[in-house]
Amino acid sequence: MGKDRPGIVAAVSGVLARFHANILKTRAATVFNDLFAMVMVVETRYATIGKAELINILKRSCDGIGLALAAENCESYKCGKKVIVFDLDGTLIDQEVIEELAKAAGVGDEVKRITKLAMEGKMNFLEALKERVSLLRGLPVSKLDEIKDSIVITPGVVDLIRQLKSSGFVVGIVTGGFDFVAEHVGRMIGADYVFSNRLLSKDGVLTGEVEGEMTGPEAKLGAIRKIAQELGVGLESCVAVGDGANDLFMIESVGLGVGFKAKLVVREKAPALINTDDIRVLLALIGCINLKDDILKRI
């Protein structure tokens, strides 16, 4: 899915033809007035390369012309998705909250360096979290409200969540970030669940310590499991959206994992990738448009 332009069909079908993957069925339409969406059913049993390699080549081809792509097996695609969870920093909001805190504490460069290592998967998330939070020791708690008030929701997110909820989705936020922002954003967008951590303070200043259960990639998946169990659905009915290495575990473990504004490690491994700033394309990737019902009748 992406901005309508010449060459979209050729970019996808050309790769499939080159590696002998057969297109069995296809359906295309223009949605939201300016976006082109296409669903293909593809048989890969006779392909000359493995499925994972084929998907990565497709992603690179789509990236070249600004297309979003989701690759699912037919059983997963047929399964009705009911839960969608989002990472917070860099996904639902434009900022990395801990970097904003670090700027206020005068340790911005050091925290940004550690964040980069963690997001690229070069540093353990819990170790990185504790190290960064320790650098915030002594920051006045009053700064937290200033930062909360400066938060910018990613363009299109509020409308996206409204449409997801009208389609019956339960929406969650799962973040290794902090409750003072996560709960604020959750209220703004109408999230049903919020999982986050909490910065500790004493005498009006941060202690440099953090508490909470969202301390690593496994914790994010654990939060999704909790939502799914409460709703009585399986992980195959869940969608996860994120951008960094700490999101990869949940992205690879649910029915459909989506990389949005993704770091390299996520771009390489996520089965779905949004290569545009227009988050509305997520609605097509998870089947919230008529194309899905139409093509399912023919599978």
The residues that bridge with 239 in the sheet, in sequence order, are 84, 256
Among 193, 219, 214, 188, CA closest to 93 = 188
pLDDT at 2: 83
Distances (CA, A) of 56 to 31, 52, 243, 286: 26, 6, 17, 19
- CATH 3.40.50.1000 domain locations along the chain: 77-270
> Among residues 34, 63, 89, 293, which one is catalytic?
89
The better pLDDT of the pair 3, 191 is held by: 191
Strand-pairing partners, residue 25, are 41
pTM for the model: 0.88
How much is the pLDDT for 22? 95
Write out the two tokens for 42: 């593809």
**Statement: residue 276 has pLDDT above 90:** no
The CATH T-level fold of domain 1-71+287-299 is Alpha-Beta Plaits (3.30.70)
Of the residues 4, 34, 63, 87, which is catalytic? 87
What residue spans in the chain does CATH classification 3.30.70.260 cover?
1-71+287-299
DSSP state, residue 110: H
Residue 283 to residues 16, 37, 51, 70, 208, Cα–Cα distance (Å): 24, 10, 24, 11, 40
CB 272 within 8 A of CB 259: yes
Confidence of residue 283 (pLDDT cuts 50, 70, 90): confident
Has 34 been annotated as catalytic?
A: no
Among the four given CATH numbers 3.40.50.1000, 3.20.20.70, 3.30.930.10, 1.10.260.30, the one describing domain 77-270: 3.40.50.1000
Q: Where are the alpha helices (DSSP H) in the chain?
A: 8-18, 51-64, 74-78, 97-105, 108-119, 125-134, 142-149, 157-166, 179-189, 217-231, 248-253, 264-269, 281-285, 290-296
Q: Residues near 50 by Cβ (< 8 Å), separated by ≥ 6?
A: none
* Residue located via tokens 């940004």: 112
pLDDT at 260: 92
Indicate the range of 218-232, 268-282, 284-298 predicted with least confidence: 284-298
* The pLDDT of residue 35: 80
> How far apart are the C-alpha atoms of 256 and 229, rounded to whole Å?
17
* Nearest in space to 210 (alpha carbons), one of 148, 145, 134: 134
User: Is 87 annotated in the active site?
Assistant: yes
288 confidence band (pLDDT: 50, 70, 90)? low
